[in-house]
Amino acid sequence: MFDLSQKTALITGAGQGVGAGIALALAQQGAAVAVNDIVTERAQSSAEAVRSQGGQAIAVPFDVTSPQAVNEGVASIAQQLGPVSILVNNAGNAGANSFAPTPFSKLNPDEWQKFIAVNLFGVMNCTKAVLDDMIEYQWGRIITISSGAGQTGLTLGVSVYGAGKGAGISFMRHVAIENARNGITANSLALGLMNSVDDAGVTAALVKSIPVGRLGTPADIGAACVWLASEEAAWVTGQTIGINGGSLQS
Ligand SMILES: NC(=O)c1ccc[n+]([C@@H]2O[C@H](COP(=O)([O-])OP(=O)(O)OC[C@H]3O[C@@H](n4cnc5c(N)ncnc54)[C@H](O)[C@@H]3O)[C@@H](O)[C@H]2O)c1
């Protein structure tokens, strides 16, 4: 079950955190993985980490917000590993910029762009770049890493990020239905709070709000991606699945 050998997976923003965990999980099931990040050194060290555990991985640094860079990156993957059959759109947050939660009333229009650029246009650029091959081979898996902030209103100061994440979810649904007869599935994972927060005091406070009683880990998300990427998940498409320790129920 969940055998991904003979598959080529592109995971964006996989130089650290959740994406690095997804790359490792897919490689452990046999996929050849292309580890993307906008930061070259991160992509390289994450690919090396996969190889050191016996997986097949290459680093493919590019900026997902640039259609040309994405097309060149995907062409390079096809040359080295074969056409991409599994795409995980993980690059997100505020893209290459820092992310300081701020109420919408305090944000200027020129601060909106970075959230939409990576969380929506990044997802669209990568999906567009891999779709023709998936249609030709009549097999593909597209997974977009979204957030509870894309599903519900929050007091955290993440309105434009949430708009970008919600747009990615909506886009996946349409891609799913347009390609349902092409052997291609498209789904979103809406993550809850992950263990990337470095401050023990903040972490303890956050954990109290999570029914399961702990923050999420990259391995939690990697396991969900393995399932969605597999042959066995062929009847799962157009869905948004919460991976959040019970924080939000749908
Ligand atoms: N951390 C959380 O609590 C949380 C919660 C919900 C959803 N998410 C989502 O999960 C995903 C991963 O989150 P994370 O916490 O691991 O993030 P992270 O910031 O630790 O890692 C994201 C990686 O993406 C790369 N990146 C940024 N912009 C890029 C671009 N334009 N092109 C290519 N790579 C780019 C960064 O360099 C970084 O290495 C994101 O989509 C995020 O929105 C995270």
- pLDDT class for 98, splitting at 50, 70, 90? confident
**Which residue has its alpha carbon closest to ligand 1 atom 32?**
63
Residues involved in catalysis: 161
Q: Is the CB of 91 under 6 A from ligand 1?
A: yes
pLDDT of amino acid 248: 86
Cα–Cα distance for residue pair 94/47, rounded to 1 Å: 23
Yes or no: is domain 8-243 CATH 3.40.50.720? yes
For 140-156, the pLDDT digits (tens) are 999 999 999 999 999 98
pLDDT exceeds 90 at position 202: no
173-179 long-range Cβ contacts below 8 angstroms, 24+ apart = 173/238, 173/240, 175/127, 175/131, 175/142, 176/237, 176/238, 176/239, 177/237, 177/238, 179/131, 179/134, 179/135, 179/140
For 38-75, the pLDDT digits (tens) are 999 999 999 999 999 999 999 999 999 999 999 999 99
pLDDT of amino acid 46: 98
Q: Is the CB of 25 under 6 A from ligand 1?
A: no
CA nearest neighbour of 4 among 229, 243, 240: 229
pLDDT of amino acid 201: 72
CA nearest neighbour of 209 among 131, 155, 150: 155
Please tell me whether the overall predicted TM-score, pTM, comes out greater than 0.95 for this model.
yes
**Which residue has its alpha carbon closest to ligand 1 atom 36?**
13
pLDDT of amino acid 204: 80
- pLDDT class for 205, splitting at 50, 70, 90? confident
Please report, for the chain, the start and end positions of each structural domain, with discontinuous segments joined by +: 8-243
